[in-house]
Amino acid sequence: MASNTTVIEEGTDFTPEFDSNGLIPAIAQDARTGQILMVAYMNRAALDLTIQTGYATYFSRSRRKLWKKGQESGHFQKVEQILVDCDQDCLILKVAVEAGQCHTGYQSCFYRTLAKGSSK
């Protein structure tokens, strides 16, 4: 009989592992360029809405509510593909996007690079 690990890692069933807060991290990656745009979290409802609507919906940990990306900024994320990792505790959303995806105005939330060898 297949072990639980085998089922999770090699099976075709999607059984996302939500953490103790009921959340799973989701990486939004530009489907065209490969640039990582942001990382946010989903609860079950956010994931279901994302799948049903085809647009990324997250759960805001600070506001404690569902948050359709773009609902205020207009910068929606059209989901082209969802990938899940080996232990099913992280997702990638490959998304089609237009303007700046970070609330700061940058295209990606990852707009800063550490100086080589520095921890500052």
Residue ranges binding its own copies (CB under 8 A): 9-10, 12-14, 25, 27, 29, 33-36, 38-39, 47-48, 51-52, 54, 81-87, 90, 92, 102-104, 106, 109-114, 117-120
Smaller CB separation from its own copies, 3 or 113:
113
Question: What amino acid occupies position 70?
Answer: G
Smaller CB separation from its own copies, 64 or 112:
112
Judged by phi (left if over 0) then psi (alpha if -120 to 50, else beta), residue 18 lies in beta
The minimum distance between CB 74 and its own copies, in angstroms, equals: 18
Beta pairing partners, 29? 36, 94
Tell me which DSSP letter residue 94 carries. Answer: E
What are the C-alpha distances in Å from 77 to residues 9, 19, 36, 102?
28, 24, 13, 12
Smaller CB separation from its own copies, 68 or 84:
84
